[in-house]
Amino acid sequence: MTGNPNLDTPYRAIFCDLLTDRTIDILPLRDVTVDDFIGKAGSLSGTVPVPNAAMAARVRRIEEGRTAVYLQRGHDLWWGGIIWTSTLGSDDQGVLTLGLQAATFESYAGRRLIRARTPAYDPGYRLTLGGDQLEVARGLWRDLQTALPGGDIGVTYGTETSGVTRSVSYRDGDETCYLDAVEALAGLENGFEHYISVYADPATGARVRRLRLGSPTVTTGSTDLVMDRPGSILAYSFPRDATRGGSTARTRGASTNSDQASESRPLCSTVAVATDLIGQAGYPRVDLTSDHNEITDAATLTALARTELAAGTGAVVIPEISVRLDDLVPPALLGRTVRIRITDEWFTEGLDARYRIVGVKVEPAQRGRPDTADLYLEEV
């Protein structure tokens, strides 16, 4: 993205106050890449040119940790998040630039810890939530935004339900990160997916930051996108990684030993085994393990082991396609189902399969290259 953002590119970089969403400025942003994912924070990187003192005065209004940035394509918001770091640089010709690094609004929950309502440590304080697991996730975000002054970043909520109930409790002094709490809850057996979408309200035009939840998955749209090669698919890859997969899984939790004089050992789950792979399909035994230091319940650990084994059974495959962005590609891509049709030397009889988009990386047009998006997929 170069020059005047209104003339040279379909994208605009809109900088706003994080707490009020008041627009600060609209600035040119070069060398931009953005990505977004279900279940984890996405990122933005780009460079603001500073050709003169007037532009420098405008750029100085960007403050790390309290400025939000949106990437708008046409009339649609494609990305939104918080600027966390910047780097002022000057090259050997004296040309000034400000490099920016931002992360989606989920990243704010990664910078907040569950604490008591008073500055003093309160060993008796507990944040306890229960009910439908999606309401528990919303409850964590509500507590993050309303319990203490300065925490409301304007994330709104829906009314999704899952039919799965949970009960969780967090103590003052454990310094549990809100994002870790949500992710641990989402990762349980029969869990859910989450991410924060940004869009313009169709009635008012106001920007919206919305926590989207779905159990077992987030779904977007009612019809499949159809993409072909030859056609809108510019490139594809189907990596298969057996180093990330396995045929057994065990999880470890908190220490069960309260006696400091003796050896401390973690609580362990039973071993989940993919007997269909080992006993029937002839796969070797490959072991997976993970640590969850905050969990003190053996049944929860065993359920986690089953979940992690199901996600990593055999070789892990995360297909990726690169497509040209045009008016047929909507901005709300995460959770959408896409039908992929490929005919080439490998797929001589033609591939025709349905996938769900779980990650997106957008690269605005550069000289000689159109707007493109890399879509990360999972089978449905």
Show the beta-strand stretches assigned E in 207-350. Answer: 207-214, 220-229, 233-237, 240-241, 248-255, 266-268, 272-273, 287-291, 316-317, 320-324, 336-342
5 assigned to some structural domain: no
Same domain for 148 and 279?
Answer: no
Q: What pLDDT score was predicted for residue 2?
A: 37
Among the three residues 285, 300, 316, which one is the final residue of a domain in this structure?
316
Block mean pLDDT (10 aa), the chain, length 380: 43 95 95 93 96 96 97 91 97 93 98 93 94 98 96 96 95 94 92 96 94 95 91 92 89 76 82 89 91 86 91 80 83 93 94 95 78 91
- pTM of the complete model beyond 0.95: no
State both tokens at 193.
């997916």
121 assigned to some structural domain: no
H or E segment to which residue 306 belongs: helix 298-311
Number of domains in the chain: 4
CB within 8 A of 253, min separation 6: which ones? 266, 267, 268, 269, 291, 292, 293, 294, 295, 296, 297, 298, 300, 301
Same domain for 330 and 223?
Answer: yes
360 assigned to some structural domain: yes
Same domain for 225 and 369?
Answer: yes
Same domain for 271 and 329?
Answer: no
State both tokens at 195.
């991410």
Total residues belonging to the chain: 380
Same domain for 66 and 83?
Answer: yes
Q: What pLDDT score was predicted for residue 254?
A: 84
Same domain for 323 and 230?
Answer: yes
Residue range(s) defining the domain that contains residue 288: 242-257+265-316
Same domain for 194 and 289?
Answer: no
Same domain for 373 and 224?
Answer: yes
Same domain for 231 and 327?
Answer: yes
339 assigned to some structural domain: yes
Same domain for 303 and 354?
Answer: no
CA-nearest of 296, 55, 6 to 169 is 296
119 assigned to some structural domain: no
CATH classification of the domain holding 335: 2.30.300.10
38-51 pLDDT, tens digit each? 999 999 999 999 99
Among the three residues 298, 316, 334, which one is the final residue of a domain in this structure?
316
Residues 353 and 345: their CA atoms lie apart, in Å, by 17
Same domain for 15 and 90?
Answer: yes
Q: What pLDDT score was predicted for residue 6?
A: 37
128-150 pLDDT, tens digit each? 999 999 999 999 999 999 999 99
CA-nearest of 368, 357, 268, 340 to 38 is 357
Q: What pLDDT score was predicted for residue 3?
A: 38
Q: What pLDDT score was predicted for residue 146?
A: 96
Residues 297 and 317: their CA atoms lie apart, in Å, by 31
351 assigned to some structural domain: yes
Same domain for 95 and 171?
Answer: no
Q: What pLDDT score was predicted for residue 328?
A: 67
2 assigned to some structural domain: no
Residues 264 and 208: their CA atoms lie apart, in Å, by 48
CA-nearest of 186, 143, 151 to 40 is 186
3 assigned to some structural domain: no
Q: What pLDDT score was predicted for residue 261?
A: 62
